[in-house]
Chain A
Amino acid sequence: MSTVVKAGPAHAAGPAHPLAHRRPLGDRGFALLALIAGLLVLVILVLIAITTAQQSANWFSTIGLKGFFSSTWTVSANKFGPMAFVYGTVISSVIALIISVPISLGVSLLLTEVLPRQWARPIVYVIDLLAVVPSVVWGLWGILILVPWLQKIYADIASGLNGIPVLDSLFSGANISGASFFTAGIILAIMITPIITSLSREVIATVPAIDKEGAYALGATRWEMIRGAVWPHSQGGVVGAILIGLGRAMGETIAAALVIGDSPEVTSHLFYSGFSMPAVIALEFGEASGEFRSALIGIGLLLFVITLVVNLFARAIVERSARKMRGA
């Protein structure tokens, strides 16, 4: 039986039925309201792009293309090259992914494949607890507890690795600081683990049981079943989940701002202080004016574009693999 209400203006013949004619005004009003609410999402995204572009036009026009790729950031000399922050964002996010991905995948596989339902539920609560701790509390714990503790550990590692060719340019050096790229990577890893875990869980849960049972029937151990039946189906979705985690790590502001060390330098030493795009905006915006402020808004626009692209890509991958699954 099809819906009766959607009829437009009355069709030609037949006796008039009270409900077959115009939709009442209230109903149309509600539909319009819903449409406006839905469009709000698009409107906000477009407005973000437009307003930040407007406010940062001053900076973009002043530094030009060459200045854009410079990493010299000296406020007093009016030099606002953003690359040091892009570098810091990328490095700390990559470190976060390297730490977080194996752990997230391990936990999500544990929850979906290994543990029986009753055991899985409390563990899901634990993951949710991890997610609900506000980022500023992670930052507070980071800067007051983690940073001093890591300072000593970094110093030990640095002196231990001193002299070994590649490792020493990564982990040694004279300016070891507890607040550094690596510490920011650790805190970011803690913060993105819940989201990668929960998204991966959703993806892995959609793998058809018949493939899994089939693998077991052929005598596979659980790990072999995961590699052979689960992974091929879910790899697209899991990659998408990882990219969403990457986007989140790049955009994380407060926790990174507190532990990254606030030093706009491009350096291979992971234990040195660095800076990141959201951190510099949050920390320096208060007293900024004129071109400085325009530069910070420009960095905000850059961050918006980068995270937008990463998220678009990630969601598209997840969408595509979900569609494949539904087809399967």
Chain B
Amino acid sequence: MQLRGRKQAITAGGAVVAVALLAACSSNSSSSAPSSSGSSSASSSASTSTASGTINAAGSTFQTNFQQAAISAFKSVDPNATVNYDGVGSGTGRQDLYGNTVLIAGSDSPVPAKEMASLKGKAILYFPVQIGPIAIAYNLQGITGLKLDAATLSGIFQGQITTWNNSAIAALNPGVTLPSTKITLAVRSDSSGTTQNFSQYLVDAAPSTWKLGTASTISWPSTARAGDGGSGVAQIVKSTPGAIGYVDFSTATASGLSAASVKNSAGDFVAPSSAAATAAASHVTPKSDLTFVTADEPGATSYPVTYQSWDIVYKNQPSANDVALIKAYIGYLLSSQGQALLTPLNLAPLPTSIDSAAVAQLSQLTS
């Protein structure tokens, strides 16, 4: 009986190992990426498909969905390059760049004045990569198409408007029965470019009512619930009836959340969408370093709370291979195939003029 026991034990162990090997082999062959629709000819002159190595990038969670799609599509364009993108928030992404743990920092806002010292005098290049709406996501059962404006948003996010059936909200939404549920704010806990741009919009569009300024982190009312990354905010809104939060539109739709229509400077209530963001971005004139603000742009069909994101790199790279890798990857993001990935993700491509300027800027990278 002892012998039987040992044999059985060995057989069982062997079976487990066999299953493990089988699983490993089968999943290796079936790990598939969503097929990229682009053809193999690159239209942008800066992309070279022969760079090899690893790019570590981190930062904005607004960019996460685009980066995920681009990284898997880029594998077929340049199989020798591996790109890793970690959505840790714009602030942490910039810190990682200063600390040289990443090559590329994704950031929804330019380097703020108080962080300039961390650059230690090294020049950086801003490459805009995407445009998109900030959705004002809310959780109210049965109510779609909620309308809000900058003044009401200020009141809500400063904690002055505390219930949904407040007169200010009701005035903007005639005919809609608003419940008396308490408003729960969902905000970002980490240093976020989305926070920066949302607060920038409120400063631009409601200067007399918005008092909390604009920065990557804001002192929200103490009752606000904070989440990590855009998906953290989306999670709070999704699970809390009566919650309202600001999150990029791509994440909001992927989470199944309703987004409010916001009144733009022309007086129209516009719902967030790829087209409305493109309309807003068409009015933008970037500065010479390719930084710009897309908030509160004119135009009847423009979504007012639109924003943008950059991939920031040092102008001077330590190795020529790094330069080649950056040119290849960012070149891909700016190319027509890369930009074509944006609209299905509920983001918007860059206006052509800005895209060409960015592509031209790639040649400024030196090693």
A132 to chain B, nearest CB (A): 17
Interface contact A175-B223, CB-CB below 8 Å = yes
Segment at the interface with A among B64-72, B87-95, B172-180 = B87-95
* A-side contacts of B191, CB under 8 Å: 76
**Minimum Cβ distance to chain B for residue A78 (Å):** 12
- A287 and B217: CB pair below 8 A? no
The chain B residue sitting closest to A273, CB to CB, is: B225
Residue of B nearest to A175 (CB): B223
B268: interface (CB < 8 Å): no
Contact of B88 among A76, A148, A175, A287 (CB under 8 A): A287
Would you call B228 an interface residue if the criterion is a C-beta within 8 Å of the partner chain's C-beta atoms? Answer: yes
Are A76 and B228 closer than 8 Å at their CB atoms?
no
Q: Judge if B78 is at the interface, Cβ distance under 8 Å.
A: no
Main secondary structure of the interface of B (DSSP, over half): loop
Segment 282-308 of A: residues with Cβ below 8 Å from B: 283, 286-287, 289
Give the contacts of B223-273 with A (CB-CB under 8 A): 223, 225, 228, 239
A-B CB pair tally, cutoff 8 Å: 15
**A262 shortest CB reach to chain B, Å:** 9
Which residue of chain A is the closest to B227 with respect to CB atoms? Answer: A262
Q: How far, in angstroms, from A287 to B95 measured CA to CA in the complex? A: 11
Q: How far is A242 from B54 in the complex, measured between Cα atoms in Å? A: 52
Q: Once the chains bind, are A287 and B223 in contact (CB under 8 Å)?
A: no
Closest CB in chain A relative to B11 CB, distance in Å: 23
Select which of A148, A175, A283, A287 is within 8 A of B92 by beta carbon: A287
How far does the alpha carbon of A252 sit from the alpha carbon of B223 in the complex, in Å? 28
Complex Cα distance, B357 from A289, in Å, reads 36
Q: How many residues of A contact B (CB 8 A)?
A: 9
Query: Which A56-115 residues sit within 8 Å CB-CB of chain B?
Result: 75-76
Interface residues of B in 266-323 (CB under 8 A from A): none
* B177-220 interface bits toward A, Cβ cutoff 8 Å, 1 = contact, 0 = none: 00000000000011100000000000000000000000001000
Residues in B neighbouring A148, C-beta threshold 8 A = 239
The proximity string for A residues 159-186 relative to B, scoring 1 for CB distances below 8 Å and 0 otherwise, is 0000000000000000100000000000
**Which residue of chain B is the closest to A177 with respect to CB atoms?**
B240
B223 touches A76 (CB 8 A): no
Q: Shortest Cβ distance from B321 into chain A, in angstroms?
A: 28
- Chain A contacts of B190 at CB under 8 A? 287
Chain A residue with Cβ nearest B222: A265
Chain B: CB-nearest residue to A290:
B95
Cβ–Cβ < 8 Å partners of A75 in chain B: 189
Cβ distance B227 to chain A, nearest Cβ, rounded Å: 9
Complex CA gap A283/B232 in Å reads 12
- Is the CB–CB distance between A76 and B92 below 8 Å? no
Closest beta carbon of chain A to B111's beta carbon, Å: 18
Instruction: Give bound CA distance, A16 to B189, whole Å.
Output: 79
Task: Please state if B95 and A76 are interface contacts (CB–CB under 8 Å).
Answer: no
The interface residues of chain B lying within 8 Å CB-to-CB of A283 are 228
B159 nearest CB across to chain A (Å): 14
A89 to chain B, nearest CB (A): 21
A287 neighbours in B (Cβ, 8 Å): 88-89, 92, 190, 228
Q: Are A289 and B95 in contact (CB under 8 A)?
A: yes
Q: How far is A175 from B162 in the complex, measured between Cα atoms in Å? A: 13
In this complex, what residue of A is CB-closest to B229? A287
B interface footprint on A130-159 (CB within 8 Å = 1, 0 otherwise): 000000000000000000100000000000
Residues of B within 8 A of A289 (CB): 92, 95
Closest chain-B Cβ to A188's Cβ sits at a distance in Å of 21
* Best-buried of B88, B95, B217, B239 by chain A (most CB within 10 Å): B239
- Name the distance in Å between A233's Cβ and chain B's nearest Cβ: 36
> Which residues on B sit within 8 Å (CB–CB) of A263?
225
Q: Which one of A76, A148, A263 has the greatest number of beta carbons of chain B within 10 Å?
A: A76
**Chain B nearest CB, measured from A324 CB (Å):** 37
The verdict on A76 contacting B217 (CB below 8 Å), with A287-B190, A287-B228, A289-B95 known, is: yes
Name the residue of chain B whose CB is nearest to the CB of A174.
B182
Q: List, in ascending order, chain A residues with CB within 8 A of B89's CB.
A: 287
- A286 partner residues in chain B, CB cutoff 8 A: 88
* Closest residue of A by beta carbon distance from B223: A175
CA distance A289 to B98 in the complex (A): 14
Which parts of B22-36 form the interface with A (CB within 8 Å)? none
Q: What's the nearest-Cβ distance from chain A to residue B225, in Å?
A: 8
Give, as a whole number of angstroms, the nearest-CB distance from B347 to chain A.
24
Which residues of chain A have C-beta atoms less than 8 A from B92's C-beta? Answer: 287, 289
**Minimal Cβ-Cβ distance residue in B for A76:** B217
Contacts A76-B217, A175-B223, A287-B228 given; 5 further ones with Cβ under 8 A?
Answer: A76-B191, A263-B225, A287-B88, A287-B89, A289-B95
Q: What would 15 A/B residue contacts be, using CB atoms closer than 8 Å?
A: A75-B189, A76-B191, A76-B217, A148-B239, A175-B223, A263-B225, A283-B228, A286-B88, A287-B88, A287-B89, A287-B92, A287-B190, A287-B228, A289-B92, A289-B95
Closest 10 CB pairs of A and B: A287-B88, A76-B217, A287-B92, A287-B190, A287-B89, A287-B228, A289-B95, A175-B223, A148-B239, A75-B189
Chain B residues within 8 Å of A, Cβ to Cβ: 88-89, 92, 95, 189-191, 217, 223, 225, 228, 239
